[in-house]
Chain A
Amino acid sequence: MKARVFVSLKKTVLDPQGQTIQSALAGRGYSSIAHVRQGKLFEIELSPETDRDSAHKDLEEIAREVLANPVIEEFRVELLD
């Protein structure tokens, strides 16, 4: 079983990187790009016998306590097949 965890800055927190990328894109003429926010993607592989529900619970916990900084970041866990 595979999972993905997306970590990004909370919507209300300033994202200097995203902002700089957006303005660079605007400078290159991509005027349709209104807003960019960046983050991290973790691709995680679980052992085959893992139970789906407990995997999800573990991943939520891992995301909250290890992968993301809850003070400024939010996360989303995605279980694939």
Chain B
Amino acid sequence: MSAITADLISSHQLTHDEYERICRILGREPNLTELGIFSVMWSEHCSYKSSKRHLKKLPTESKHVLQGPGENAGIIDIGQGWAIAFKIESHNHPSFIEPFQGAATGVGGILRDIFTMGARPIAVMDALRFGPLEDPKAGARNRRIVEGVVSGIAHYGNCFGVPTVGGECVFDPSYNGNPLVNVFALGLFRHDEIFYGRASGVGNPVIYVGAKTGRDGIHGASMASAEFTEESKQKRPNVQVGDPFMEKLLLEACLEAMRTGAIVGIQDMGAAGLTCSTCEMGSRAGTGIEIDLMHVPQRETGMTPYEIMLSESQERMLLVAENGREEEVFAVFRKWGLDAVEIGHVTGDGILRVKDHGKVVAEIPNRPLADEAPLYDRPYTTPYRPAPMEGPSFVTAGIQEDLKMLLASGDLCSKRWIWEQYDYMVRTNTLQGPGADAAIVRIKDTGISIAMSLDGNGRYCMLSPREGTKLIVAECCRNLSVAGALPVAATNNLNFGNPERPEIMAQLVESIEGMAEACRFFETPITGGNVSLYNETLGEPIHPSPVVGIVGLMHTGEPAGIAFRNADRAVLLVGGIGDCDAVRFGGTQYASVVVGKVWGLPPALDMDFEKRVQAAAREMVSAGMAESAHDIGQGGLAVALAECCFGLGVGAEITLDSELRPEYLLFHEGPSRVVISTNNEEAIVEVAKRHNVPVVRIGTTWEKTLSISNRGVRLATMEVEALRESWENALPAKLSVS
């Protein structure tokens, strides 16, 4: 047995105190295999040791929630005996090392989280963050990463057969050395088809299914919990290669095996592979698990117990079957041509016992390993904020040029180049796909549809993590509301820098607290999610980048959509023009793109007002009064109007009446506003009134041009088609620079 040195401990990302704790738990020193097992289970990625005490502040319950955090995914009741499971996961570091495979295996991992619960994945969305494509130094690499990530997501999702129905993609220099790839997946099942990752029933066989184990991504989980340095770039582990075909077979076989009734518990092998699945399943059931590694199917020869236990080979599942009914399970996996091997059994002693050809190589109590990782109350000060409160004075060189510039900017330009590579229609349920405020997927034969949206805004959160995060939750709910859906539950991905820095920890804490407040207020409990810390490269942290995914429920019907449909319709602004000042303007796209600086604070949010606006918009859309509805988000009113024109080429004449200076009026990003076109203005006004929400008529739709004036002063007149082309072509043009 190799002696455990201080070097060995630190190379496993464990502290001296943590090592002492391991020794206390075991009553002896661990061997190398045990040290490896502890190191992955106690990594930030698996244990949430820096964030857990703050995550507890998040609301997790409502009448819709069947399963909150702690399982592979949260579960929501959607009525008629149906339920949905959904969650978001990051694959940030692997996507930087190998963009294509990193993103692909990110999709694979979250899909397994969903179908391991018994749900069939029916939708995927992605939140992506990259460094700017035109960055003079990092641009070429950023472009390569974008190409790789997008085609990796497409490769995996398309082949697996799940539609990628939406998402968002944002560029900022803070992601230059640290792109973010967050993947959301949602699955459907009936209440009586739910499975949990529990190893119940002493004596029940533990069965390994799916791909063989290789030396893939060994120490991925602890690597995902460490900053990138020049040194760590050299220490590349074996990159995991995704096999979506294997995953598709695994999906069908698992769902079919579940229907036999012979499966007691099941869990995917994700980060920390066999280690995580065995000890978590045992811990949840209060049992022990004994396995012998000689039965584990192996792709490479000469693998040590350490390597087998820590391998992160993809497309593998661990399941516990009812004793005596193994053959029913094996038969299903044989039909699908997959390996299924009994590798051990459930015991009553609460111990994870790993043998290799009969010889014990690791023996650790499950519960302390899985659930009693050290928790840290990391010190925090005030959030890191690399931006001034005051901005420069500026004056527009021409509103028309500003609008063109914004529409061709990385964040606001059309993302068609990305989403056309995704099959967003497979399964024929996508009522509204990418490019809309929210994606809508119907549940066949029920009359129920699910709306979903992913939102984040690192710039707002950098200026104020608390306010920024509240705005994100509000925006996400608004996206669902303008689609006519009622937001019911959320999942979060907290992407931050190094929590050992108090000013970064402060970002995390404030963001979580803001999220808790907003999710409580909008009645969208967080049912699960993911924390990704140490997103720094060479000491440079990313913007605090919480991402939320919120799902909403609605009746199945033809969506209103964001596009103006007909000429001669009233264009109304539900929620009013809003207000802005120099400080609140500093976080806008206009400030960042046109002025070239970021300062001040994110827009002001009045949650109570926001909720009323959403309720009004939801009623207008679901009652069919609105021909189109689009929320105002980044880029403000002018960008929202342009987007309304792009869908079907219908223009509008907008005549405003406001005291605000034109830059603020057209480009401020104040929340709680929705652009609606209608041929039933009275009904809209009546609904707004009932919800105590202002509504102003700002113009009329007409043919082919977008014209904007304020108090008789013409600010812009633009051909919709020409504007649409520059918006549409911007991303391919940025990517084709070589």
Contacts and interface: CB of A to CB of B under 8 A. Distances in A.
State if A and B touch, Cβ cutoff 8 Å: yes
Interface of A: 9-10, 12-16, 19-20, 23, 69, 71-72
Contact of A12 (B215, B242, B245): B215
Contacts of B211: 14
Interface in B301-322: 313-314
Interface string B86-105: 00000000000110010000
The 5 A-B pairs at the shortest CB distance, nearest first, are namely A16-B243, A14-B241, A71-B98, A72-B239, A12-B238
Contacts of B239: 13, 71-72
A14 B243 contact: yes
Interface of B: 97-98, 101, 211, 214-216, 236, 238-243, 245-246, 299-300, 313-314, 337
B97 A14 contact: no
A74 to B, nearest CB: 13
B300 A12 contact: yes
Contacts of B238: 10, 12-13
Given A14-B313, A16-B243, 12 more contacts: A12-B215, A13-B214, A13-B239, A14-B241, A14-B314, A16-B245, A16-B246, A19-B243, A23-B337, A71-B97, A71-B236, A72-B101
Given A71-B98, A72-B98, A72-B101, A16 B214 contact: no
Contacts of B299: 14
Nearest to A20: B245
B302 to A, nearest CB: 11
Contacts of B245: 16, 20
Contacts of A72: 98, 101, 239, 241
Residue in A10, A16, A69 whose Cβ sees the most chain B Cβ within 10 Å:
A16
A15 B236 contact: no
Contacts of A19: 243
Contacts of A13: 214, 216, 238-239, 241
B624 to A, nearest CB: 48
Nearest to A19: B243
B246 A69 contact: no
A13 B243 CA distance: 12
Given A71-B97, A71-B236, A72-B101, A12 B214 contact: yes
A12 B301 CA distance: 10
A8 to B, nearest CB: 12
Contacts of B313: 14
Contacts of B97: 71
B32 to A, nearest CB: 20
A14 B312 CA distance: 12
Contacts of A23: 337
Contacts of B300: 12
Contacts of B337: 23
A23 to B, nearest CB: 7
Nearest to B238: A12
Given A9-B241, A20-B245, A23-B337, A14 B216 contact: yes
A66 to B, nearest CB: 12
Nearest to A15: B241
A66 B354 CA distance: 44
Contacts of A69: 98
Given A23-B337, A69-B98, A71-B98, A16 B241 contact: yes
A16 B216 CA distance: 14
Nearest to B243: A16
Nearest to A71: B98
Contacts of B314: 14
A14 B245 CA distance: 13
Nearest to B300: A12
Nearest to A11: B300
